[in-house]
Amino acid sequence: MTDAPAALAADPPSAAPPSAVPPSAVPSGADPGLGRALLESRQRWRDLVGLAADLVFETDADGRLGVIMPDPALGWPAALLLGQDASCLLADRDGFDPFHPAAPLRGRHAWLRRADGGLACLVFAAAPLLDAEGRTIGARGMAIDVTAENGAAATSAAALRRGAMVDHILARMRQEVLAPRMMRAVLDSVRNALGAEGVAVIGAGPDGAPGGATVLHQNGDGAAGLLDPIAALIGRDASETAAATASPAGRPLLVSTCRTRFGDRAGLAVWRGTDGRPWDHEDGLLIDAAGGIVRVVLEHQAIQREMARQARTDALTGLLNRRAFLEELPRHIERLDRESQPGTLIFADLDNFKQANDRLGHEMGDQVLCRTAALLRQTVRPTDLVARLGGDEFALWLNGADHMTAAERADSLRRNVPGVLAEVVGGPRPALSISIGIATRRVGSFEDIDNVMRRADLAMFEVKREGRGHWRVAPDAEV
């Protein structure tokens, strides 16, 4: 049985297929029954080997194939391979060569080329063939195709790697409370996991158009120079599928789009140096997994911003509430002191609002307050402050304005408010007007804000006592 491969090795490439055993292999003059048994035995050997292996081969001293099974093998016709150098099947000729074993081997993997251009991973068992004097005269071996198993193992390994990265990121996130610190932990983990030169979260402009992108968060340098290609990738695809490209700076770039539930579009971008290896499919899966976490952090950040805004904003009018107004005033005053400029506080209170609210209902009262807030916004500049202190009481802070400027604004409100609010309530009754008190904090006075507020409140009280619907400037504070 062991002579069958040698007999086949003597056949030229044009001989019968290797699955056929030539009659010359049976010794002349032998018992015909013995010959048939020998032929049947060799055929059984071939059948068994074919069932156990996906590739069977034998080479000669020059490495040429003399036996190749099955037919076809890896899609190659056996007649085409016989007599050829076996190394022509290797996908990597500089790697492991199972067709030239120096000693018996088992369990070694090698990648071979299929006839359709694809690759196959085979695990080999092979041994050198020796002559009577111990010289190598060829090799014999068999192999099993484990391409599918290798692919499944690689997929599992990749999934485990992604899972480990996600677990690591989440573990670091759990140590933080504020969204910006969470984002720093995420970017640091992503950069280390992918071996990136830098990583950043980029906010896309309108429709993801280049030119409107901004760096929201980054770890490492270089994000500013990659804004346009990153924005183009974000705008090209609204899904989380990663896209790779060579950036204008020559850096391999990988981007995963992160669209939040609030409609914000951003992208998680990673890049390597100009001599860095290109990104592969597994890198894309990793950044998409990280992109999902980034999206959650961005949403958390948006919720925190909205909660902070609501904590500082009057829910009905959208103006600053009392707390936010009192928190902002000291910062404005400190800047005015540094720049040697005055500031003026205006207290405004609606006249007869309670009667209108009771007579016309709370919904109409809300409309009156909202229209008043709109008038007050039109009275101040974007750098000034306007707030609803509660009920029908409002406050304005005018940066750099003295009592003369404030008086002009107050008189404009005195004239416009009654007519505008009459349109809201649908008639002149009840007569709605506004009473205003003004207190200026002069340059160099260093008057504390409580005293300024006290003077403005007293001035407004005097207006109320004298008939309402007017304004008054409080006397200067005593130095």
Contact (Cβ atoms closer than 8 angstroms) between residue 175 and residue 185: yes
> CATH number, domain at 207?
3.30.450.40
Is 34 exposed, middle or buried, given 0-12, 13-18 or 19+ CB atoms closer than 10 A? exposed
Going through 223-362 in order, the beta strands assigned E by DSSP cover 243-246, 252-259, 265-271, 343-351
Q: How far apart are CA 52 and CA 32, in angstroms?
A: 30
Query: Are 135 and 241 members of one domain?
Result: no
Task: Look at residue 137 in the predicted model and tell me its pLDDT.
Answer: 93
Environment class of 265 (CB within 10 Å of its CB; exposed 0-12, middle 13-18, buried 19+)? buried
Q: Tell me how crowded residue 362 is: count the other CB atoms within 10 A of its CB.
A: 9
Total domains in the chain come to: 3
pLDDT in the model for residue 16:
39
From 91, 112, 145, the end of a domain falls on 145
- What are the b/e assignments for 399-419, b being 16+ CB within 10 Å? bbbbbeebbebbeebbeebbe
pLDDT at 85: 93
What pLDDT score was predicted for residue 350? 94
Q: CA 258 to CA 253: how far, in whole Å?
A: 16
Residue 478 lies in a domain: no
My answer on whether 244 and 329 are in the same domain is no
| Residue 244 tokens, joined | 């790779």
159-165 long-range CB contacts below 8 Å, 24 or more apart? 161/282, 161/286, 162/285, 162/286, 162/289, 165/189, 165/190, 165/193, 165/286, 165/289, 165/290
Tokens representing 43 are: 């055929």
- Which of 125, 145, 165 is the C-terminal boundary of a domain? 145
Give all strands (DSSP E) within 70-225, no chain letters.
105-113, 119-130, 136-145, 198-203, 214-219
Name the nearest CA neighbour of 40 among 4, 14, 93, 7: 4
Q: Is 12 part of any domain?
A: yes
Assess if residue 315 is contained within a domain: no
Cα 161 to Cα 435: distance, rounded to the nearest angstrom: 69
Tokens read off for 319: 């103006």
Please, are residues 356 and 425 in contact by the beta-carbon 8 Å criterion?
A: yes
In the numeric block, which tokens belong to residue 163? Answer: 């899972």
Do the domain assignments include residue 236? yes
The pLDDT value given to residue 41:
63
Domain membership flag for residue 58: yes
Considering the domain boundaries, does residue 317 fall inside one? no
CATH of the domain at 101: 3.30.450.20
> Which residues span the domain enclosing 49?
4-145
Same domain, 342 and 465: yes
233 and 367 belong to one structural domain: no
Answer yes or no: is 409 within a domain: yes
Q: What is the DSSP letter of 164?
A: H
pLDDT tens for the chain, residues 1 to 479? 333 333 333 343 333 344 444 444 455 555 666 666 666 666 666 666 656 688 999 999 999 999 898 889 899 999 999 999 998 898 877 778 999 999 999 989 888 988 888 888 889 999 999 998 989 999 999 999 888 777 666 666 667 667 777 887 888 877 877 778 888 888 988 888 888 889 999 887 555 444 578 889 999 888 888 888 888 777 665 555 566 666 666 778 888 888 777 777 888 989 888 777 788 777 888 888 888 888 888 888 888 888 888 888 998 999 999 999 999 999 999 999 999 999 999 999 999 998 888 888 889 999 999 999 999 999 999 999 999 999 999 999 999 999 999 999 999 999 999 999 999 888 777 789 999 999 999 988 889 999 999 999 999 999 999 989 999 999 987 75
**141 with 157, same domain?**
no
Q: Which long-range contacts (CB under 8 A, 24 or more apart) does 463-466 make?
A: 463/435, 463/436, 463/437, 464/349, 464/351, 464/435
Cα separation, 433 vs 50, in Å, equals 102
Same domain assignment for residues 47 and 73:
yes
Q: What is the pLDDT of residue 155?
A: 65
422 and 369 within one domain: yes
Q: Rounded to a whole number, what is the distance in angstroms from the first to the last CA of the chain?
A: 120
DSSP 111-128: EEE-TTS-EEEEEEEEEE
- Residue 338 sits in the same domain as residue 247: no
